[in-house]
């Protein structure tokens, strides 16, 4: 499964941006989009693939957080099984 994640552009140098993903700063290629500092972009495999509104980015981040919360018990059980083997 592939997932694209929203982030906010903090700095641009050429066609590479520093993008903030909830406190994690990552260098991202802007070769596929026309974006500016402060824009929110959807990023997949190190490439910004879409410029999005802040509201869209916030909604997607909320959904991803909800999914992570739902999967937490399963991940903990898997980690426990791996620790015992």
Could you tell me the residue ranges of all domains in the chain? 5-84
What would be the CATH architecture of the domain defined by 5-84?
A: Roll (2.30)
pLDDT at 15: 97
What mean pLDDT comes out for the span 12-34?
97
pLDDT at 53: 98
Q: How confident is the model at residue 9 (pLDDT cuts 50, 70, 90)?
A: very high
- Quote the strand ranges of 16-76, DSSP E: 16-21, 24-29, 40-44, 47-52
Phi, psi values for residue 45, rounded to 5°: 55, 40
pLDDT at 81: 85
């Amino acid at each position: 499964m592939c997932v694209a994640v929203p982030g906010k552009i903090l700095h641009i140098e050429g066609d590479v941006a520093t993008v903030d993903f909830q406190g994690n700063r990552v260098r991202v290629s802007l070769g596929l989009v026309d974006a500016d500092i402060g824009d929110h972009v959807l990023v997949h495999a190190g490439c910004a693939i879409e410029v999005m509104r802040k509201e869209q980015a916030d909604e997607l981040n909320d959904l991803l957080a909800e999914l992570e919360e739902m999967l937490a018990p399963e991940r903990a059980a898997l980690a426990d099984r791996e620790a015992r083997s």
